[in-house]
C-alpha cells in the first residue's frame, strides 16, 4: 500500500464517528467485571468438567494450570496492553503497533476475527441449549433420575432443526440487543449485574453438592491425578482450553483492553481475572463431580455431561428441580458475558473501519453468525452426515478454534509483542508510562512473553498434532 493511500486512510478514520467518539468501560471496576465476564463462560461449566473427566482428572487440571500461567496469562497481558496502547479494535491494533507498515501483522487480527466467528457458531448453539434448559427445568420436563429419559429430552432438542435454529437465533437476538447499547451501557452494565448473581448461585449449588453422602468420591476424582491419560493430544487440549478459558489468542482481550482505563494496573488485574476464572472452574467442578459420584453416575460422559447426566443428578436430590433451574440459569449468565466479548470483536472492527456505525455493524455480525452458526446448529440433525476429517461442523469449529487458531494466534501475539513491538514498549505500557513501580514483575513478564510462551507453544503444537 502506498504512503499516500495510508495517509488518506488515516484521514478517513479520523472523520469516522465510531473512531472519533470512541469510548470504553466507564469505570475500572466495570472493566474488570466485563473482562472476567468474558473469561467465565461455558468453558468453566461445560468444557472444563468433561475435558477433565476424559483426560485423567487432576492430571489434566495440573497441565491446564501450568498452561494458564505460562501461556494463557502472558498472552492476556500482551493483548490487553497492546489494545490499551493502540486504543483500537483487534485488527487495527496490530496495524497501528506494527514497526513497519509492510509487515502483515494485522493478519493476526484477521485470524482472530475468524476464530471469533467459528467459536460463536458453536457457542451460540450450546448457549441456546442452556437457555432452552432453563425453560425445560422450570417446566419440570427434565426431572427424571433415569439418564435414558434425560438423554431423550436432549436428543429431541438437538435433533430438531427447528428448535436448534430457534434457540440459537433467540440467543443471537438477545446478544445483539445488549451489544447495540454500547460498550459501557451494554456490556459493562450487563456483566456487572450477572457476575455476582452467578457466583451466589454457584456457591449455593456447591454447598448442596458437597454435603451429599458419598460426595468425597467426586473430590478424589478432581484431586487425584492419573497421569497415564496424558498424551500429547491431551496436553494440546489443555493448552487450547487455557486459551479458550481466558478468551485469548484471537483479539477479544485486545478489543477489551482498548476499553480499559489508562491507570489500571495490567499485570495485577489480569492475574485477578485469571484467578477468578480458575475459581469459577473449580467451583463448577465441585458443584458437578461430588453430586455425579454421590448418585453413582459416570463422570467421563463427554460433552453430554451437562445436558444428560446433570439433570438426572439434580432429579436424584431433594428439591432438585429448584437446584436445576438455578444451575442452568447461572450457566446462561456465564455464557452471556463470554458471548458479548466474542460479538464485540467483529462489531468493533466493522464499526471503526467502515462507516456503518455500531447498530448496522451489530446487525451484519448477527446475520453472518446466524448463517455460519446454522451449520453448527444443524450438526446433530440435517447436517449430521456432513463431515470434514470425520468431524461434524460443530466439532470441527470447536477443534479448529481451540486447538489450532487460538494457540497459533497466541504464538504470533507473543512473538509480535516480545520481539517486534519490543521490551521498551512493554515496559512503558505495563508501568502505565512510569506511574507504577513494578520493574521486577514486568521484567519477568517480558522474559516469559519473549521466550517461555512461544517455545512452549511451538513444542505443544508440534507434539499435539503428531508432527514430533
Ligand atoms: N472464555 C469463554 C469461556 O470460557 C469463551 C471465549 C473464548 C470467550 C474466546 C471469548 C473468546 O466460555
Q: What is the CATH number of the domain that holds 427?
A: 1.20.1740.10
What was the pLDDT predicted at 147?
A: 83
Name the percent of the chain lying above pLDDT 70.
Answer: 97
Cβ-based neighbours of 329, under 8 Å, separated by 6 or more: 134, 201
Q: State the distance from the centre of ligand 1 to the C-alpha of 335, rounded, in angstroms.
A: 8
Residue 116 belongs to some domain of the structure: yes
What does pLDDT average to over the chain?
A: 92
359 or 23: which leads in pLDDT: 359
State whether the beta carbon of 35 lies less than 6 angstroms from ligand 1. Answer: no
72-130 tens-digit pLDDT: 999 999 999 999 999 999 999 999 999 988 899 999 999 999 999 999 999 999 999 99
Task: Please give the distance of CA 123 from its chain centroid, rounded to a whole number.
Answer: 9
Residue 14 belongs to some domain of the structure: no
Residue 12 belongs to some domain of the structure: no
Measured from the Cα of 44, ligand 1's closest atom is 4
Residue 2 belongs to some domain of the structure: no
| Residue 426 pLDDT level (bands cut at 50, 70, 90) | very high
147 or 167: which leads in pLDDT: 167
What was the pLDDT predicted at 143?
A: 87
Instruction: Cell 439433570: give the residue.
Output: 311
**Minimal-distance CA residue to ligand 1 atom 4:** 43
Residue 7 belongs to some domain of the structure: no
What was the pLDDT predicted at 1?
A: 46
Instruction: Cell 448457549: give the residue.
Output: 127
What was the pLDDT predicted at 22?
A: 85
Measured from the Cα of 338, ligand 1's closest atom is 8
Residue 335 belongs to some domain of the structure: yes
| Residue 378 pLDDT level (bands cut at 50, 70, 90) | very high
Give the pLDDT mean for 413-441: 97
| Residue 301 pLDDT level (bands cut at 50, 70, 90) | low
Question: 157 and 163 in contact (C-beta within 8 Å)?
Answer: yes
Q: State the distance from the centre of ligand 1 to the C-alpha of 18, rounded, in angstroms.
A: 26
State whether the beta carbon of 255 lies less than 6 angstroms from ligand 1. Answer: no
Highest mean pLDDT among 2-6, 120-124, 219-223: 120-124
Per the structure, the count of domains in the chain is 1
What was the pLDDT predicted at 299?
A: 76
75 or 310: which leads in pLDDT: 75
Does residue 181 have a pLDDT over 90?
yes
State whether the beta carbon of 72 lies less than 6 angstroms from ligand 1. Answer: no
Does residue 4 have a pLDDT over 70?
no
| Residue 452 pLDDT level (bands cut at 50, 70, 90) | very high
Instruction: Cell 466467528: give the residue.
Output: 117
Residue 307 belongs to some domain of the structure: yes
Q: State the distance from the centre of ligand 1 to the C-alpha of 41, rounded, in angstroms.
A: 6
Residue 8 belongs to some domain of the structure: no
The H-or-E segment that residue 343 falls in is helix 320-353
| Residue 334 pLDDT level (bands cut at 50, 70, 90) | very high
Query: Which structural domain range is residue 325 located in?
Result: 24-464
Pick from 376, 374, 369, 372: which is nearest to 345 by CA?
A: 369
Q: Rg for the chain (alpha carbons), in Å?
A: 22
| Residue 221 pLDDT level (bands cut at 50, 70, 90) | confident
End-to-end, the C-alpha distance of the chain in Å comes to 39
Amino acid at each position: 500500500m502506498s504512503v499516500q493511500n495510508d495517509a488518506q486512510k488515516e484521514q478517513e478514520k479520523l472523520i469516522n464517528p465510531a473512531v472519533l467518539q470512541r469510548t470504553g468501560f466507564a469505570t475500572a471496576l466495570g472493566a474488570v467485571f466485563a473482562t472476567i465476564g468474558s473469561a467465565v463462560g461455558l468453558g468453566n461449566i461445560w468444557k472444563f468438567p468433561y475435558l477433565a473427566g476424559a483426560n485423567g482428572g487432576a492430571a489434566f487440571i495440573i497441565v491446564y494450570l501450568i498452561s494458564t500461567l505460562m501461556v494463557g496469562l502472558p498472552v492476556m497481558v500482551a493483548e490487553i496492553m497492546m489494545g490499551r496502547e493502540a486504543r483500537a479494535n483487534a485488527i487495527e491494533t496490530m496495524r497501528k503497533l506494527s514497526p513497519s507498515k509492510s509487515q502483515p501483522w494485522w493478519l493476526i487480527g484477521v485470524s482472530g476475527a475468524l476464530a471469533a466467528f467459528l467459536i460463536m457458531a458453536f457457542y451460540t448453539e450450546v448457549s441456546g441449549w442452556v437457555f432452552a434448559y432453563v425453560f425445560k427445568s422450570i417446566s419440570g420436563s427434565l426431572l427424571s433420575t433415569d439418564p435414558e429419559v434425560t438423554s431423550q429430552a436432549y436428543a429431541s432438542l438437538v435433533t430438531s432443526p427447528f428448535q436448534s435454529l430457534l434457540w440459537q437465533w433467540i440467543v443471537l437476538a438477545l446478544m445483539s440487543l445488549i451489544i447495540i447499547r454500547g460498550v459501557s451501557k451494554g456490556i459493562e452494565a450487563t456483566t456487572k449485574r450477572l457476575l455476582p448473581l452467578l457466583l451466589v448461585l454457584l456457591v449455593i449449588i456447591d454447598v448442596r453438592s458437597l454435603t451429599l453422602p458419598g460426595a468425597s468420591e467426586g473430590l478424589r476424582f478432581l484431586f487425584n491425578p492419573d497421569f497415564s491419560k496424558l498424551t500429547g493430544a491431551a496436553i494440546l487440549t489443555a493448552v487450547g482450553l487455557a486459551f479458550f478459558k481466558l478468551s485469548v489468542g484471537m483479539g477479544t482481550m485486545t478489543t477489551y483492553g482498548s476499553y480499559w482505563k489508562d491507570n489500571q494496573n495490567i499485570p495485577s488485574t489480569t492475574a485477578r481475572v485469571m484467578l477468578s476464572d480458575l475459581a469459577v472452574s473449580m467451583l463448577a467442578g465441585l458443584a458437578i463431580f461430588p453430586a455425579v459420584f454421590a448418585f453413582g453416575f459416570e463422570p467421563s460422559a463427554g460433552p453430554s455431561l451437562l445436558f444428560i447426566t446433570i439433570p438426572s443428578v439434580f432429579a436424584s436430590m431433594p428439591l432438585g428441580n429448584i437446584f436445576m433451574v438455578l444451575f442452568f440459569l447461572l450457566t446462561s449468565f456465564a455464557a452471556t458475558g463470554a458471548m458479548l466479548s466474542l460479538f464485540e470483536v467483529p462489531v468493533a472492527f466493522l464499526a471503526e473501519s467502515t462507516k456503518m456505525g455500531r447498530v448496522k455493524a451489530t446487525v451484519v455480525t448477527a446475520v453472518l453468525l446466524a448463517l455460519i452458526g446454522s451449520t453448527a446448529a444443524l450438526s446433530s440433525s440435517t447436517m449430521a452426515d456432513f463431515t470434514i476429517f470425520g468431524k461434524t461442523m460443530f466439532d470441527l469449529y470447536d477443534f479448529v478454534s481451540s486447538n489450532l487458531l487460538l494457540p497459533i494466534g497466541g504464538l504470533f501475539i507473543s512473538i509480535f509483542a516480545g520481539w517486534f513491538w519490543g521490551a521498551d514498549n512493554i515496559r512503558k505500557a505495563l508501568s502505565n508510562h512510569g506511574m507504577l513501580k513494578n520493574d521486577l514483575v514486568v521484567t519477568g513478564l517480558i522474559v516469559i512473553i519473549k521466550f517461555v510462551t512461544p517455545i512452549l507453544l511451538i513444542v505443544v503444537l508440534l507434539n499435539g498434532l503428531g508432527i514430533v
